[in-house]
């Protein structure tokens, strides 16, 4: 019968272990799949990422709320990247309508997806929602920086630059996004290169490249400056110059030029000989006239254009030699595929120029350039606001943006950030591109000069990009003096550090855990560890040094510590990351007394089931009197108790078929609790013997096998196993507070030994903390050579074994509540 009971116990244990392993395996598999999907998305393997996220969300995989939110968000991003707007819209709608994700970037992506799907009214609503959330969101500068100084937050940014096949021996500059293509200004060299006010032989028109994603690169310049030529593609059909709209200007075309003082090189004629006919084409004959047109800007839905046109001022009723060219802004709307209702903007003037427009994403602000009176220098940047169906008076952007030189070619991105060119602010030379952020339409103090290779010693201007500057286009005359359109792709983060939100939560309840200690360790040399505590929402916010690896060691009282890695390597986007770290409470350590424990066989017949034993001190193994011993029947919840005498003895009868809880308690001692497994009903009566040990305040117990090499404080594997025994004691007595005492032998300097022993005590305390024991329950004390266990003191010759006995670690019970 005993063998049968043992087999049944082993089977139950084996089944429980098997189920536990299956559960742990499922959790590990889920984490692994999620990590794989995130990596595929980062590597732009969108199809594989979509398959993996879909598998996680639809195949019955157990996901935590945080994991499910992450998978849904990333899946929507993947669909957005491959251009499946319908699926991306559906996922973003589910995420945002459910209220579980109010991240302003997701709202922005949702708005962009709606716009690409032709739902412009909804897109506008979501974009307004994004602006509201963005204004409420904490700024990046509010976060503590880990791994670098706060003044080093923005570092150098790596870009890849591409020359495009649309570039000709003439001039191409100032691109604008329109539908899936680019609209830009184009012309060819004439007899005069214009850098100032006055005449010349330039002629400009707007040109349209309908598919910007398939524009072929002719030369690629990597972020390290290596230049690579791209082989030409074979073109099966070409048109010669003169066979299409790209013909030489006629005598009716204007020969006047823009009136801005510097900034671009302008010439006459067009030349696209040898280029595929479908790569570029004349934009529109209604917009392109006998005057010069460009640059231009479009509303977010592409239904409205605002463009620059130069006209000739008239003096005395007729054109004379003193007439000068003025730039003016015009607007038109698209109706049935045609541009109609071309009208002047209300702030045009014959006395000064107005041009280079850029319309904000919401269509409520128009940025432009003018040399109107009252500016800071040659040309300044202005903004006009659309209120109650009318454009208001232009406002100068002020000295934060404008200089004594020329500010030109503004562009406002979907997030409201402003890019512009200037020759009056210190840069690399010529026109350089600068960046400014805005709050409620007002420029913030300080502007950013874009890194090389976007800026160069030549003219660089007319940059357009997305809200995160992940890629875009700009103009430059760096190669041969002619203005070309270059494409750029950002290959690193915009910032020297990456925003990260870490949430600490209870694995079982998903409740946020406040006051959790988080130690952030950088894997780079010379980076000091930083310790932070989670706030009332279980959150810490920080900014991690880019291109680095980190370890997060998280601990909280009454929880098992957790260590999680995080890397900022290969992260080119600038979206803040979120890391969820779960902590689990350790299972209560309760001794179990089973029917297979020690069975006492006596010559006399045992008539009833019984358990008996002695209550002993943990330190001296002597009986303890006055201990209250209680036995609780888990079938009927009845409790019996007895008080031990000087012999520390206790005894209780047991009913078959019921579990019991045995508890021993006494003031200044730690309560000892054990479980008694039920005895079989049809088995013969038996006696169980179980001696219980109790800790007392003041007990000092030496931990075996915790020795150290001379002058070392690193724990060995054997020592770690021994300290695990202390971990179980600390878990068994949740209110126990101990003092770790570490000792050295008498060799060496006494002061140095004191320091070394303190380091050894801290090593043990750190190990206990890593296993979930709060540091508030541990005092670490270095005893040095002050308390040897033998006569091996200074001046006494001892063996190595005798010295090693003194290199020991003990723990003393300080308090038991």
What is the rounded CA–CA span in Å between residue 369 and residue 363? 17
Contacts of 588 (CB under 8 A, 6+ apart): 731, 732
Which residue, 168, 95, 149, is CA-closest to 126?
Answer: 95
What is the rounded CA–CA span in Å between residue 239 and residue 272? 9
Sheet with 304-312: strands ordered across: 292-298, 304-312, 325-335, 338-344
Can you list the positions of beta strands (E) in 371-417? 380-387, 390-391, 395-396, 407-412
Architecture of domain 700-816: 2-Layer Sandwich (3.30)
What is the rounded CA–CA span in Å between residue 715 and residue 708? 7
| Helix or strand run (H / E) with residue 86 | helix 85-98
Answer yes or no: are the C-beta atoms of 433 and 450 closer than 8 Å: yes
Answer yes or no: are the C-beta atoms of 204 and 194 closer than 8 Å: no
What is the rounded CA–CA span in Å between residue 165 and residue 147? 43
The pairing of beta strand 407-412 with beta strand 395-396: unpaired
Which residue, 124, 110, 127, 141, is CA-closest to 437?
Answer: 141
Q: Which segments of the chain belong to CATH 3.30.1330.60?
A: 700-816
Which residue(s) pair with 613 in the sheet?
A: 650
Q: State residue 596's pLDDT score.
A: 52
**Cis status, amide bond into 720, omega within 30 of 0:** no
What is the rounded CA–CA span in Å between residue 584 and residue 516? 12
Q: State residue 60's pLDDT score.
A: 66
The pairing of beta strand 591-593 with beta strand 672-676: parallel
| Helix or strand run (H / E) with residue 398 | none
Answer yes or no: are the C-beta atoms of 150 and 330 closer than 8 Å: no
Q: Which segments of the chain belong to CATH 2.60.130.10?
A: 142-156+494-585
Contacts of 770 (CB under 8 A, 6+ apart): 553, 555, 561, 563
Rounded (10°) angle between helices 46-58 and 65-81: 150
Q: Which segments of the chain belong to CATH 2.60.40.10?
A: 591-693
591-693 under CATH 2.40.50.140, yes or no: no
Which residue(s) pair with 580 in the sheet?
A: 503
Q: State residue 707's pLDDT score.
A: 66
The pairing of beta strand 338-344 with beta strand 325-335: antiparallel
CATH number of 159-231+243-490: 2.120.10
Give one DSSP letter per residue of 183-249, joined into a string: EEEEE---S---SSSS------EEEEES-GGGPPEEEEE-TTS-EEEPPPPP-S----TTSSS----
Q: Which segments of the chain belong to CATH 2.120.10?
A: 159-231+243-490
Q: State residue 255's pLDDT score.
A: 35
Which residue(s) pair with 475 in the sheet?
A: 461, 485
Contacts of 153 (CB under 8 A, 6+ apart): 140, 141, 145, 495, 496, 497, 543
CATH number of 142-156+494-585: 2.60.130.10
- Can you list the residues of the chain whose pLDDT is less than 50? 1-28, 43, 138-142, 148-154, 189-202, 235-278, 314-323, 597-601, 603
Answer yes or no: are the C-beta atoms of 595 and 628 closer than 8 Å: no
Q: Which two tokens stand for residue 391?
A: 């454009």
Q: State residue 67's pLDDT score.
A: 79
């Amino acid at each position: 019968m005993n063998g049968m009971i043992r087999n049944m116990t082993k089977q139950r244990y084996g089944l429980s272990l098997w189920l536990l392993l299956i559960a742990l395996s499922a959790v590990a598999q889920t984490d692994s799949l999620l990590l794989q999907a995130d990596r595929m998305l980062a590597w732009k393997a969108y199809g594989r990422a979509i398959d993996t996220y879909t598998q996680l969300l639809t195949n019955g995989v157990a996901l935590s709320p945080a994991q499910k939110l992450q998978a849904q968000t990333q899946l929507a991003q993947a669909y957005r990247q491959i251009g499946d707007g319908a699926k991306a819209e559906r996922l973003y709608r589910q995420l945002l309508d459910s209220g579980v994700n109010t991240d302003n970037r997701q709202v922005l992506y949702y708005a962009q997806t709606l716009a690409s799907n032709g739902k412009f009214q909804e897109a506008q609503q979501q974009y307004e929602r994004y602006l509201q959330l963005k204004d409420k969101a904490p700024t990046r500068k509010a976060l503590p920086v880990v791994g670098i100084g706060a003044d080093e937050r923005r570092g150098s940014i790596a870009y890849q630059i591409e020359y495009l096949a649309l570039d000709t021996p003439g001039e191409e500059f100032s691109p604008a996004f329109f539908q899936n293509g680019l609209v830009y200004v184009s012309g060819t060299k004439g007899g005069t290169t214009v850098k100032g006010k006055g005449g010349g032989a330039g002629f400009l028109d707007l040109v349209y490249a309908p598919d910007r994603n398939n524009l072929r690169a002719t030369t690629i310049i990597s972020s390290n400056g290596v230049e690579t030529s791209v082989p030409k593609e074979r073109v099966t059909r070409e048109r010669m110059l003169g066979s299409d709209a790209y013909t030489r200007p006629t005598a009716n075309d204007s020969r006047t030029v823009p009136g801005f003082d510097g900034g671009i090189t302008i010439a006459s004629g067009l030349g696209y000989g040898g280029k595929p006919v479908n790569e570029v084409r004349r934009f529109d004959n209604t917009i392109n006239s006998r005057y010069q047109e460009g640059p231009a800007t479009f509303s977010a839905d592409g239904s409205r254009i605002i463009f620059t046109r130069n006209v000739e001022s008239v003096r005395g009723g007729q054109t004379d030699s003193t007439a000068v060219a003025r730039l003016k802004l015009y607007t038109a709307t698209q109706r049935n595929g045609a541009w109609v209702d071309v009208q002047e903007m209300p702030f045009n003037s014959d006395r000064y120029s107005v041009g280079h427009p850029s319309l904000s994403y919401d269509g409520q602000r128009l940025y432009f350039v003018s040399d109107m009176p009252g500016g800071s220098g040659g040309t300044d940047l202005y903004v006009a606001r659309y209120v109650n169906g009318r454009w208001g008076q232009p406002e100068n952007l002020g000295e934060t943006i404008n200089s004594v030189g020329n500010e030109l070619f503004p562009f406002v991105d979907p997030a409201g950030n402003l890019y512009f060119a200037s020759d009056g602010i210190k840069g690399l030379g010529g026109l350089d591109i600068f960046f400014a952020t805005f709050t409620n339409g007002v420029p913030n103090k300080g502007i950013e000069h874009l890194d090389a290779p976007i800026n160069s010693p030549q003219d660089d201007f007319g940059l357009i990009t997305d809200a995160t500057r992940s890629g875009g286009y700009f103009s430059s005359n760096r190669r041969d003096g002619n203005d070309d359109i270059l494409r750029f792709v950002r290959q690193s983060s915009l910032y020297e550090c990456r925003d990260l939100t870490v949430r600490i939560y209870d694995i079982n309840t998903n409740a946020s855990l406040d006051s959790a200690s988080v130690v952030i360790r950088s894997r780079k040399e010379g980076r000091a560890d930083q310790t932070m505590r989670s706030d009332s929402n279980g959150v810490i916010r920080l900014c991690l040094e880019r291109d680095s690896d980190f370890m997060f060691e998280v601990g909280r009282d009454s929880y098992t510590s957790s260590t999680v890695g995080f890397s900022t390597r290969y992260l080119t986007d600038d979206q803040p990351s979120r890391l969820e770290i779960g902590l689990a409470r350790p299972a209560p350590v309760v001794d179990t007394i089973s029917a297979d424990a020690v069975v006492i066989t006596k010559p006399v017949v045992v008539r009833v089931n019984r358990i008996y034993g002695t209550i002993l001190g943990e330190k001296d193994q002597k009986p303890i009197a006055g201990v209250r011993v209680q036995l609780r029947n888990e079938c009927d919840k009845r409790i019996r108790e007895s008080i031990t005498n000087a012999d520390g003895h206790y005894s209780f009868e047991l009913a078959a078929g019921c579990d019991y809880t045995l508890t021993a308690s006494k003031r200044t001692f730690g309560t000892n609790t054990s479980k008694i497994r039920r005895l079989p009903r049809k088995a013969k009566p038996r006696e169980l013997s179980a001696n219980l040990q109790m800790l007392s305040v003041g007990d000092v117990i030496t931990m075996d096998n915790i020795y150290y090499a001379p002058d070392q404080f690193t724990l060995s594997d054997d020592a770690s196993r021994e300290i695990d025994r202390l971990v179980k004691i600390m878990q068994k007595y949740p209110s126990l507070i101990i003092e770790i005492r570490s000792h050295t032998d008498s060799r060496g300097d006494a002061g140095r030994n004191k320091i070394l022993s303190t380091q050894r005590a801290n090593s043990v305390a750190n190990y206990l903390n890593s296993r979930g024991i709060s540091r508030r329950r541990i005092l670490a004390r270095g005893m040095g050579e002050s308390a040897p266990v033998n006569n091996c003191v200074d001046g006494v010759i001892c063996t190595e074994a005798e010295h090693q006995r003194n290199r020991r670690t003990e723990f003393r019970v300080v308090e038991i509540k």
